[in-house]
Structure 1
Amino acid sequence: MEKLRILHTNDLHSHFENFPKIGRYLQKAQQDKTVDQVLTFDAGDFMDRSHPLTDATYGQANIKLMNSFNYDAITIGNNEGISNSHEVVEHLFDHANFPVVLANLREEDESMPHWAVQDKILTTKKGTRIALIGLTAAYPLSYEPNHWHIKMLKDAMDEVLPKIEGKYDVLILLTHVGLNMDSFLAHNYPEIDLIIGGHTHDLLPHGRNVNGVWITQTGKWGHYVGNIHVEIDDKHHLQRISPHVVATSSMREHDDDQKTILGYQERGKEILSQEKVADLPEKYDGDREAAIDVSLDAIADFAGTNLAMLSTGLFLEPFKKGIITKYDLQKILPHSMHVVRSKLKGSDLWRLVMEIEKNRHYLDHFPLQGMSFRGKVFGQMHYRGIKFDPLSKAVFVEGKEINPAKEYQIAVLDHYVLVPFFPTLAIVGDNQFLFPQFLREVIGDYLAKKYPIIGSETNGGTKEPN
């Protein structure tokens, strides 16, 4: 009988506060002599540019730390594939000491990314062949403008499975597609033995068996580490899978952990603070309304529209007068969301405004949970070029009452399209996701043009990894 131990993580999202404990746990567990072999995997979203060190190093700090976790393979999440430009992703794994398994992402010419493999066969010390297939969330609206071709899950599985048929004894999927899609895969591909998943931040303390396929997830942010025991007979037939999780809070903290964690934050702050963006006048000092107004101008300029909308909850801090740096913008707008140019008929734009106004008071203090990090509350929606008369319910666009038959273009955010607060955008909007810059970069570029730094103050700093 062969005994394996599989350790796994998912959706770490640059929560470096848990990395010291996780690193020690993995390194100790990888030396477990009560089993024949230990394997370690990650199921994506290991980075999140809401952390200043990740943002400052374009994820290279994450790669350096993950190298110490001794992963046998990983797949990527949407935070790696979408929140970074194509160029950044092309070099993200230049210094990784682990393979990236990813069956459903291609370059625009249909070639495999040079940093990934479609599948991988691991042979254990006792000769069991373990096939690994990686899958990430299939978001064509986001991947295609970023110069990637994303394949639907079924298409990818139907392509790769025949190629590896007869070449493996155990089939494991590393997926960043969410629990519902993991269940779809389990129902439609019963040859799968184990799915190590992520994306929807579900915590499955003892896994979930769907159609004879075990599905595991460890929640989010490194609060738990997956710990699976596997038994395989002498003929390399799988006999037993026993999933568990270990709470990071139960792991012993070392005296210098907090110093290490603070060091990650300070190093990111140090790098980003060297990069000066703009010199803001007095009117922006602590004035959230002024910050919203110029940000509306920024996204409208970026999208080439006259109309725009933004919610106040996105702005975690107000702007300040004087020199504003990339670190300031990272604190104010840590979210890695993109601008969307949406084309709507006048009648549909009217409906969108009605949806916003109907929910305005409800959304003002609505907590944003389970939606990645988009701020603490939704807040108030502000418009550029649009006025609403609550008495007549009339909508005015650039001073004229809206024409129901006319087409209008408005700059919005991916957040408003993907989260179902305002269904009109997703249902009838002709939405073009704009890449590669995301929100704070768009606003930073606009501020740099509108309020350039003059004199001895120059843009400096570096984005080289620590």
Structure 2
Amino acid sequence: MEKIRILHTNDLHSHFEQFPKIGRYFEKAQHDSAFDEVFTFDAGDFMDRSHPLTDATEGQANIELMNKFHYTAGTIGNNEGISNPHCVLERLFDHVEYPIVLANLREEDESMPKWAKNYHIFSTKAGTRIALIGLTAAYPMTYGPNHWHIKMLKNTMDAVLPQLVGKYDVLILLTHIGLRMDRWLAENYPQIDLIVGGHSHDLLPKGEKVNQTWITQTGKWGRYIGDINVEIQDHHVVKVEPNTIPTAELSEEKTDQAVIAGYYEQGKKLLQAKKVANLPAKFDNNKKAAIRVSLDAIADFAQVDLAILSSGLFLDPFRAGEITKYDLQKALPHPMHVVRTTLAGRDLWRLVMEIEKNRHYLEHFPLQGMSFRGKVFGEMYYKGIEVDMRRRLVYVNGQEIDPREEYQIACLDHYVLVPFFPTLAIVGDNEFLFPEFLREVIGNYLARKFPLENQKEGTEKDEN
């Protein structure tokens, strides 16, 4: 009888405040003599560019820290695959010390990314062959514009499993596809022994068994550590006992807070060294001014006249004088991208009516997920659009909207994904614009409009 211990994490999202405790737990567990072997897996979204150190190092600091956890293998989540430009993901794993398994992502020419493999097979000391397959969330709308080819789950599994026939005894999947799709895999591929999952941020304290397959997930942000006991007899799994350990209940050492603060300060210092623009006095602590110039920025980037943004995106107002990449990262931490949407006039009118109908509800609506890093959705702002709700009229650049004419509007991928504005997702011709983030788009625009070398602090440059 083989006794195996499997440690796992998912959706760490650069929550480095958990890393000291996770590291100590892993180190002790990985040397547990009560087990024949210990394996450690990560199921993706280990990085999040809302943390200054991750943003400043483009995830290299995360890789350095993850290497210290001595993972056996990992896969990627959408924060690695979509929130990073193609070139950043290409070099993200240059220094990783464990294999990245990912069966459903390809380069545009259908070649395998140099940093990943479809599957990984390793043997225990007793000769049991364990096969690992990695899968990430299949989002063609956003992977495609980022110059990746994402494969659907069924097509991927049907292609990879025949390659593994006769090569393994135990099959484990590392997935970043969410609990609903994990259950689908368990129902349709009974040969899977264990799914170590992520993406949907579900906490399964004792795992979940679907048919003969166990599914595990530890919530989000490193708040829990996955710890699974597995018994194998004659090279076949005979027992799986999943557990989750609350990180908050683990002991803290005196140096932990200093280490955690050091990660933030290191990133802050790196970003503060990168100056962006010199803003005039009107921007000082004026959120509306920040929103207005940001509307101009995304419209300019999308090469359109119209734009929409919500105030909840702006966690901090801009300030007058020199601003840095840290200021922008702190104000706009969201890994969002600009979308250029084409709508018929009648559909643009309907979108505006959806916005107005939801306006007061959304102003204080607490929102989580879908790349949002703020607290509330906030108030909607327009560029180039005016509304007369008494008469239910919409004006575009001063002219009443023509229901048969086509209009283009700059918005965010966030607005396409949230359920409040269905017109965007249902009838909008949406072009996702990569690779720049929202804050990079705005930063580049500010650098052009208010350049560091041409403006003295407190002097407003003519914007016309």
- Residue 61 of structure 2 is matched in structure 1 by 61
Confirm or deny that 1:293 pairs with 2:292: yes
Question: Following the alignment from structure 1 to structure 2, what is the Cα–Cα distance between the partners of residues 264 and 353?
Answer: 43
Question: Following the alignment from structure 1 to structure 2, what is the Cα–Cα distance between the partners of residues 29 and 374?
Answer: 33
The Cα shift of 1:390 comes to 1.2
Residue type of the alignment partner of 2:148: W
Residue type of the alignment partner of 1:182: D
Write out aligned runs for 1:380-459 (5 A): 380-454=379-453
CA contact 2:223–2:246 (8 Å) conserved in 1: yes
Confirm or deny that 1:51 pairs with 2:45: no
The Cα shift of 1:419 comes to 1.3
The Cα shift of 1:369 comes to 2.2
Write out aligned runs for 1:329-344 (5 A): 329-344=328-343
- Residue 269 of structure 1 is matched in structure 2 by 268
List alignment gaps of at least 5 residues for structure 2.
Answer: 457-464
Which sits farther off after the overlay, 324-333 or 370-379? 370-379
Summarize the Cα distance change of 1:456–1:363 in structure 2 as closer, same or farther, 3 Å threshold: closer
In the superposition, the TM-score normalised over structure 2's length comes to: 0.97
SS state at 2:442 partner: helix
- Residue 375 of structure 1 is matched in structure 2 by 374
Question: Following the alignment from structure 2 to structure 1, what is the Cα–Cα distance between the partners of residues 74 and 101?
Answer: 6
Write out aligned runs for 1:26-175 (5 A): 26-175=26-175
- Residue 220 of structure 1 is matched in structure 2 by 220
Summarize the Cα distance change of 1:456–1:306 in structure 2 as closer, same or farther, 3 Å threshold: closer
Question: Following the alignment from structure 2 to structure 1, what is the Cα–Cα distance between the partners of residues 436 and 363?
Answer: 27
Question: Following the alignment from structure 2 to structure 1, what is the Cα–Cα distance between the partners of residues 4 and 372?
Answer: 36
- Residue 461 of structure 1 is matched in structure 2 by none
In the superposition, the TM-score normalised over structure 1's length comes to: 0.97
Question: Following the alignment from structure 1 to structure 2, what is the Cα–Cα distance between the partners of residues 272 and 374?
Answer: 19
User: How many corresponding residue pairs?
Assistant: 456
Question: Following the alignment from structure 1 to structure 2, what is the Cα–Cα distance between the partners of residues 434 and 51?
Answer: 23
CA contact 2:121–2:131 (8 Å) conserved in 1: yes
SS state at 1:254 partner: coil
After superposition, give the CA deviation of every residue in 1:164-209 in whole Å (9 maximum; x if it has no partner). 0111001000000000111111111111110000000000000111
Write out aligned runs for 1:255-266 (5 A): 255-266=254-265
The Cα shift of 1:316 comes to 0.4
Question: Following the alignment from structure 1 to structure 2, what is the Cα–Cα distance between the partners of residues 213 and 407?
Answer: 50
Over aligned residue pairs, what C-alpha RMSD do you find? 1.0
Q: Flag as ranges the 4+ runs of structure 1 deviating above 2 A.
A: 369-374
Seq. identity, %: 70
Residue type of the alignment partner of 1:132: L
- Residue 463 of structure 1 is matched in structure 2 by none
- Residue 319 of structure 1 is matched in structure 2 by 318
Question: Following the alignment from structure 2 to structure 1, what is the Cα–Cα distance between the partners of residues 46 and 373?
Answer: 18
Question: Following the alignment from structure 1 to structure 2, what is the Cα–Cα distance between the partners of residues 342 and 371?
Answer: 19
Residue type of the alignment partner of 2:254: D
Question: Following the alignment from structure 2 to structure 1, what is the Cα–Cα distance between the partners of residues 336 and 373?
Answer: 8
Residue type of the alignment partner of 1:45: D
Confirm or deny that 1:6 pairs with 2:14: no
SS state at 2:89 partner: helix
Question: Following the alignment from structure 1 to structure 2, what is the Cα–Cα distance between the partners of residues 445 and 378?
Answer: 25
- Residue 352 of structure 2 is matched in structure 1 by 353
Summarize the Cα distance change of 1:438–1:372 in structure 2 as closer, same or farther, 3 Å threshold: closer
Residue type of the alignment partner of 1:385: G
After superposition, give the CA deviation of every residue in 1:5-59 in whole Å (9 maximum; x if it has no partner). 0000000000000000001101110001001000000000000000000000000
The Cα shift of 1:456 comes to 11
Question: Following the alignment from structure 1 to structure 2, what is the Cα–Cα distance between the partners of residues 407 and 171?
Answer: 52
The Cα shift of 1:452 comes to 0.4
- Residue 464 of structure 1 is matched in structure 2 by none
List alignment gaps of at least 5 residues for structure 1.
Answer: 458-466
